[in-house]
């Protein structure tokens, strides 16, 4: 089916192109009877206004650019779903681009979106963060960050309260009776890792437990890194009785190694993740974790961007809270005197 143009409507209505254009834009220069006839003909012919042509008039493209670290991350997928829900409700289309967690590439993608005249930009897990302040006045395009990974605050952000959530996860293990609690972090040293480690330390200190550096190892935020880190922890004498993981993907790798080494979860060792990805409730045993309100974060970020697009000067960081979801991967530790290292 061919696209109906203003030229086609003008031919049928027997008027000039400019008259059709004015009628479709409700110009007072066209009398009401003629304008109504032109609009009726346009509707009967199935005319749909060109987004490009409309943007030339309004100087708005009704498009939003979203920069993600990787489209393969299930956490990102849920955040983007929340963004699209609000964007679509307000007539915006969403363009997606990958930064591969590379700060230079992230900046290039943002500038590319600007060159394509998007109305606003959202960046998930930004590696650039507050450095965008130098670009805002130059680009004149509002930017909102989601879970900024760069140290320092950015004026328009939606953030998870990592410290409080991680403290709750560690306190859950302490309340179960664990005293030798390990933390598997992220080797890249992102801001979320720094904050989750801080929450872990705070919980230990509040409980009067001595921090043991050997119980802190680093993965890479992926199952493979979780496997390598868990191997190091289980080689300790004695090994930890519980492990708090930077995210659920890390916990998946840790769970696999525990089984390979003959450790039962949670009988021999308890595991806690972070994110509450959909797979967390389907592991064996189901994973205790911190639930991030992923869709809510996407919706709130898009709502904040809409405020900025309307001319609002909302310089704020919106903090959202995580929720401890207790499942079957955590339990009280075994009595030390009964502990026997499993055979690997």
Question: How much of the chain, in percent, has pLDDT values that exceed 70?
Answer: 88
CB 206 within 8 A of CB 173: no
| DSSP sequence for 274-288 | SB--GGGGTSSSPPB
Asked if residue 254 and residue 105 are part of one domain, the reply reads no
Residue 137 scores a pLDDT above 60: no
Q: What is the dihedral of CA 288, 292, 294, 295, to 10 degrees?
A: 90
Residue 301 belongs to domain spanning: 63-154+293-322
CA 186 from centroid of its chain's CA atoms: 17
Asked if residue 196 and residue 178 are part of one domain, the reply reads yes
290-342 per-position pLDDT tens digit: 999 999 999 999 999 999 998 876 667 899 999 999 999 999 998 763 344 55
pLDDT of residue 51: 56
pLDDT of residue 141: 87
Number of domains in the chain: 3
Question: How much of the chain, in percent, has pLDDT values that exceed 90?
Answer: 63
Asked if residue 233 and residue 220 are part of one domain, the reply reads yes
Q: Note whether residue 41 is domain-resident.
A: yes
Query: What CATH number corresponds to the domain at position 181?
Result: 3.40.50.2300
212-265 per-position pLDDT tens digit: 999 999 999 999 999 999 999 999 999 999 999 999 999 999 999 999 999 999
Asked if residue 148 and residue 179 are part of one domain, the reply reads no
Asked if residue 171 and residue 40 are part of one domain, the reply reads no
pLDDT of residue 101: 81
Q: Note whether residue 56 is domain-resident.
A: no
- Radius of gyration from C-alpha coordinates of the chain: 27
Asked if residue 302 and residue 184 are part of one domain, the reply reads no
Closest CA to 242 of 193, 299, 175, 316: 175
134 vs 156: which has the higher pLDDT: 156
Asked if residue 172 and residue 136 are part of one domain, the reply reads no
Asked if residue 240 and residue 308 are part of one domain, the reply reads no
Helix axes 17-24, 6-13, angle to 10 degrees: 110
pLDDT of residue 132: 64
- 171 Cβ neighbours under 8 A, 6+ residues apart: 203, 206, 207
Q: Note whether residue 343 is domain-resident.
A: no
Asked if residue 218 and residue 202 are part of one domain, the reply reads yes
pLDDT of residue 17: 82
User: The sheet that has 63-68: what strands, in order across it?
Assistant: 93-98, 63-68, 120-124, 143-146, 156-160, 316-320
61-92 per-position pLDDT tens digit: 899 999 998 888 889 999 999 999 999 999 89
Q: Note whether residue 212 is domain-resident.
A: yes
Q: Note whether residue 202 is domain-resident.
A: yes
Q: Note whether residue 55 is domain-resident.
A: no
Q: Are strands 156-160 and 143-146 parallel, antiparallel or unpaired?
A: parallel
CB 165 within 8 A of CB 322: yes
Q: Note whether residue 1 is domain-resident.
A: no
CB atoms within 10 A of CB 105: 15
Buried b (16+ CB within 10 A) or exposed e, 268-301: bbbbbbbbbbeebeebebebbbbbbbbbebbbbb
Query: What CATH number corresponds to the domain at position 30?
Result: 1.10.260.40
Asked if residue 330 and residue 194 are part of one domain, the reply reads yes
149-208 per-position pLDDT tens digit: 776 666 788 999 999 999 999 999 999 999 999 999 997 778 899 999 999 999 999 999
Q: Note whether residue 344 is domain-resident.
A: no
CB atoms within 10 A of CB 14: 8
Asked if residue 168 and residue 240 are part of one domain, the reply reads yes
pLDDT of residue 24: 82
Token readout for 173 is: 């293990």
Average predicted confidence (pLDDT) for the chain? 88
Counting every residue written for the chain, the total comes to 344
pLDDT of residue 337: 39
Asked if residue 144 and residue 68 are part of one domain, the reply reads yes
Closest CA to 69 of 80, 59, 61: 80
pLDDT of residue 343: 55
């Amino acid at each position: 089916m061919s696209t109906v143009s203003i030229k086609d409507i003008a031919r049928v209505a027997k008027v000039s192109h400019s008259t059709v254009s004015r009628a479709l834009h409700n110009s007072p220069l066209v009398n009401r009877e003629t304008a109504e006839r032109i609009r009726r003909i346009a509707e009967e012919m199935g005319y749909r206004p060109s987004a490009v042509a409309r943007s030339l008039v309004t100087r708005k493209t009704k498009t939003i650019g979203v920069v993600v670290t990787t489209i393969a991350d299930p956490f990102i997928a849920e955040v983007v779903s929340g963004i699209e829900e609000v964007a679509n409700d307000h007539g915006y289309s969403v363009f997606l681009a990958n930064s591969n967690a590379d700060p230079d590439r992230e900046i290039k993608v943002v500038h590319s979106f600007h060159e394509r005249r998007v109305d606003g930009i959202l960046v998930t897990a930004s590696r650039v963060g507050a450095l965008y302040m130098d670009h805002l006045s130059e680009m004149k395009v509002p930017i909102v960050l989601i879970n900024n990974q760069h140290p320092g605050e950015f004026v328009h952000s939606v953030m998870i309260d990592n410290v409080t959530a991680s403290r709750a996860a560690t306190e859950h293990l302490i309340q179960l009776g664990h005293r030798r609690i390990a933390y598997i972090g992220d080797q890249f040293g992102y801001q979320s890792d720094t904050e989750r480690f801080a929450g872990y330390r705070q919980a230990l200190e509040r409980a009067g437990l001595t921090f043991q550096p050997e119980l802190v190892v680093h993965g890479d935020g992926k199952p493979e890194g979780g496997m390598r880190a868990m191997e190091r922890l289980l080689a300790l004498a004695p090994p930890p009785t519980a492990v708090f993981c930077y995210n659920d993907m890390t916990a998946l790798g840790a769970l696999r190694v525990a089984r390979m080494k003959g450790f039962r979860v949670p009988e021999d060792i308890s595991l806690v993740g972070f994110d509450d990805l959909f797979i967390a409730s389907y592991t064996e045993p189901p994973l205790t974790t911190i639930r991030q309100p992923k869709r809510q974060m996407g919706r709130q970020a898009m709502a904040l961007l809409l405020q900025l697009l309307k001319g609002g000067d909302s310089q704020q960081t919106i903090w959202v809270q995580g929720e401890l979801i207790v499942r079957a991967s955590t339990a009280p530790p075994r009595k030390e005197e009964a502990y026997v290292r499993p055979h690997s």
